[in-house]
Amino acid sequence: MIKFMPLVLMLGYGLVMWHFSAWRLRQELDARSRPLAHPDLDGVIARLARALDLPSLPVQVYEVDPVNGLAAPDGRVFLTRGFLRKYEAGEVTDTEIASVIAHELGHVALGHARRRMIDFSGQNALRMVLMTVLGRFIPGLGVWLANLLTAALAARLSRRDEYEADAWASALMVKAGFGTAPQKRLFQKLENLTGAPGAGTPAWLLSHPKAALRIAAIEANEARWGLAPQH
């Protein structure tokens, strides 16, 4: 039991750090967010709520400039002010905004925050093991390789979550009567909207799949579900 104690401590440390990070995020969101009050979006949000058999669907606005959506560990769903500005400027449509909300709801429904807590703890322990082993055989490079391998694993797990949330969002968008076309159109616009984050980063280190791959996955789901291709 004693020989496994360092591993147990690393797992425990990972859990503590994840909870601390979630607490800090909650404090930040509480301080810089407010309920979404946008009459032009009430209709599409109400349709998502009806598709989920809910009386309403609370969405929060996170007052930051980057274009993004967010599912907080406590289950709240956020759109950034930057995303709403793109909508108000006519660069995205109301149904494309609905697809973002549906995607973030997918993260909540699929329990990705809890999964990431477990993943984060495991990755922290794995990093320490790799640093110890590789550092012994490859002095100087061992720590760098351990961090690189752990980052690649974290990115792969994150991409898996994104594909799952995309599929959940597609199903909800179809049930709400919007179809998958708004979701795919938004992905086609994403690089221009966000300034192409991750440009030049190897695909295996990206936390989100490339837009073309996400669209292809949605179209594969359309075929599997017997839906006509939507554009």
**Looking at the domain assignment, is residue 229 inside a domain?**
no
Q: Tell which residue, 171, 88, 119, 169, has the closest CA to residue 14.
A: 119
Query: What is the residue type of 34?
Result: R
Of 56-70, 71-85, 187-201, which range is least confident? Answer: 187-201
**Looking at the domain assignment, is residue 51 inside a domain?**
yes
The pLDDT, as a whole number, for residue 93 is 97
The pLDDT, as a whole number, for residue 112 is 86
**Looking at the domain assignment, is residue 73 inside a domain?**
yes
**Looking at the domain assignment, is residue 123 inside a domain?**
yes
**Looking at the domain assignment, is residue 58 inside a domain?**
yes
Total count of domains within the chain? 1
**Looking at the domain assignment, is residue 169 inside a domain?**
yes
Domain boundaries, position 41? 2-224
**Looking at the domain assignment, is residue 231 inside a domain?**
no
SS3 state of residue 80: strand
Q: What is the pLDDT of residues 91-133, one digit of tens each?
A: 999 999 999 999 999 999 998 877 776 555 556 655 666 566 6
Name the percent of the chain lying above pLDDT 70. 71
Q: Give 59 or 118, the one with higher predicted confidence.
A: 59
**Looking at the domain assignment, is residue 230 inside a domain?**
no
